[in-house]
Chains A and B, each alone.
Chain A
Amino acid sequence: MTTSRRKFIKISALGLGGLATTSSAFNMFGVNSYLDAAVKENIAKKFVRSATYCEVCFWKCAAWAYTDENDDIKKIIGNEDDTHCNGRLCPRGTGGVGMYSDEDRLKTPLIRTTINGEETYREASWEEALDLIASKFKDIKEKYGPESFALLKHGSPGSHLEHLFKAYGSDTIAEPAYAQCRGPRETGFGLTFGSWIGSPEPTDIRDTKCLVLIGSHIGENMHNSQVQEMSDAIDNGATIITVDPRFSTAASKSKHWLAIKPATDIALLLSWMHVLIEEGLYNKDYVEQYTFGFDQLKEHVKPFTPEWAYGITTIKPEEIRKTAHIMAAAAPSVIVHPGRHVVWYGDDSQRERAIAILNGLLGSWGNRGGFYFKESLKVPKYPHPEYPEPRWGWKDIGKQYPFAEMGITSELVKATLPSEDNEYPIKAWMVAGTNLINTLPEREKTIEAINAVEFLVVIDTMPMEITGYADVVLPECTYLERYDGIRSATNRIPSIAVRVPAVKPKYDSKPAWWISKQIGERIGLGDYFDYNDFEEVIEWQLTKLGTSLDEMKKIGVKNFERTSGPLFLEEGQEYEFYTPSGKIEFYSQQLANKGFDPMPVYTRHPEPPQGFYRLNYGRSPMHTFSRTINNPNLNDLKSENTLWVNPKVARILGLKKNQEVWLKNQDDIVSTFSIKVRVTERVRWDSVYMYHGFGHNNKKLTRAFGKGVSDTELISQTVIDPLMGGTGLRGNFVSILTENPHKTSEI
């Protein structure tokens, strides 16, 4: 966030001298405001717009990319008809232009080679790079079976490559978005309501009377329509309650901010349940009709009084009661939000269970202002031969975690580490669209696994830390330069959106669908790629859906009527939930059967030792993880992160604003780079905070290199969620170093 305008301007002003030579530029487009109207009209007409959906984050807002007469992308504007964005992109989507124009992009395929004893990359043709990759696919299959080739992915390119891997016979597939992010909430809500939350979250925020955020920082995470709806809720006078040890932006919009002691959320949730039940404030009809295990729950939460919770959470009993009363008064038009990045302390699925149960008590699931019944359109599968049945895959690798429903990236990493008794040995990786080095905790392990694989191919648009470890690097073109799968998302109404290239791929970059097809054909899987261009695939699918590529190019987004019934429950309506009991499960027999707590309990988590502070991290509204930091447009808004420190801590340690410090964690891991101190009352004295994604150490990222500290490199301890394998990341502690610990060594 820019706090000082002077600082924002990085280039000093030119004096008079520059004037004479540049005056001709004044007549060019947009150089300054006051061109004559006719000229402007003329220029504006030359803009051509192409339908796309944004890939700067997973929200996938439909948009129009505007290109000028030089085939340069000038701006990207939200599609008015799209429910993900309502015509307004978030800053990252607006700044998506920079993804295309970034001159640091990967430009050609690269192959690792040794020159004079030094490892380096040499540029290669696609032909050569693809041949090499194909030979490795064959090789791994022959030596170990196709299962030993793993795909680690994120975003749209992932689905094209997933097709390749499944055709090849490997289901050893995972994405960090599950076990390093939102997995626990899907498990917690799945066990309770029989339904995943999914994306976008089916929260009816715009019509809610009360929105409760547990550590969820909407507004700093720019999950677009959700941010928009929070703003609508503010307009409508909704009460926002935010539980967060940090005074987040959302907290500043809240009537009640509960400044909770970190790692104690479950205690608060249990005591809220206690108040609702003991004071008879829960939604009785709803609980009666739709839930299972209320009596057990009542018994279970009896001891969890607000006074009990006060001792744990530091939130005053009267505040706990008051906020419980507000929720009850708003019910069923209340949302206790599941959050999104929820891998915190290892008991995260159980915390999400507690959140789900609280929603059940309030009757918000299936009610206006609570959670709606989402719906999406099924896009027909383009015909291809059946996939072979792999001998093992992600499920087997994660079998220790009975409630895992997707591949656990961190477990795939473990299965890659050499060991004698490894049932599921992974020998090669393809990494697409995810910077594993900055995504996974316990970096040492990731690097050990990387060193162990026989082959690593990385597909990305940008040089990232992970690309530096690859044997082969393939430059993917950006979302603005390619066709991709049809976006069909869950929402209030079903909708589809298309992505059409606005411009030709820059440099020698290629779309992921083409890469998959090329590899597929080289390893005898041509039948799975029975088309010349991906355009044909979506054309075929769109026709099946009753539209056409031509129509979709003109409208970008098409909305459909619901067919699954109303958004909300009707009064007293019979409804069967997809749980074993057919009801909302307060008590989970499924959990009990597997030896887990059938109802959530609070457990104490480690606290920072003397001289250490809990390392908390979150999102900057201008960036998506580590992948946008080098984007010229977004880097302009925020180029480095700062370390948020409470003034008390600053006083004790003698820290000044903007002072450069280094961080050292409980395992003696020292940050590679320094970070500037931000002294602020917005953070507690027992923790420090920073934006995630900064501290890049790939020199090829000319803007992002060395700017700020990577929180991920300091996360060397994780607590694994025993239900689904999520990696709890918030139990790491740092001390603050004021002297450069790297003085003698070179970075």
Chain B
Amino acid sequence: MVSNLAHDKARAIAEAVPDPELPVLTLGDLGIIRDVAASGTGVEVTITPTYSGCPAMNTMGMDISLALAEAGFGPVRIKTTLSPAWTTDWISAEGRAKLQAFGIAPPGPRGNDAPVACPLCGSTNTGEISHFGSTACKALWRCLACREPFDHFKCH
């Protein structure tokens, strides 16, 4: 018999794991953790992959397994589910605030062409330099007010 407490604890540990490429975000902030099920035979964590080609997905699974093992949970099984597809709408409000504070313009709501505000000075006088940035999730933008380049977490 596994208590609800163990479930909650396992879930909290999995959600607190930092994103390997954007360590200001936790996996909980990113919204990829669908389910955490602790039972007498171990823990099963279900995650939704972000981008098809995101090379961080394997690392995320490993980091979750390690964090749970360190807290005494095990064995850990990582299950991925494709449907429904992950969307940036699942990034938490706290996650968006962290991105902003880190200098990355957070994604706007899907299907809404809201202007992208510069994370440094707040101006919306901005423009895209390249659709493709340093990772699959980011595009390269620049601010025409303060002249600084910045990353924008793409709406997906």
The yes or no verdict on A and B being binding partners is no
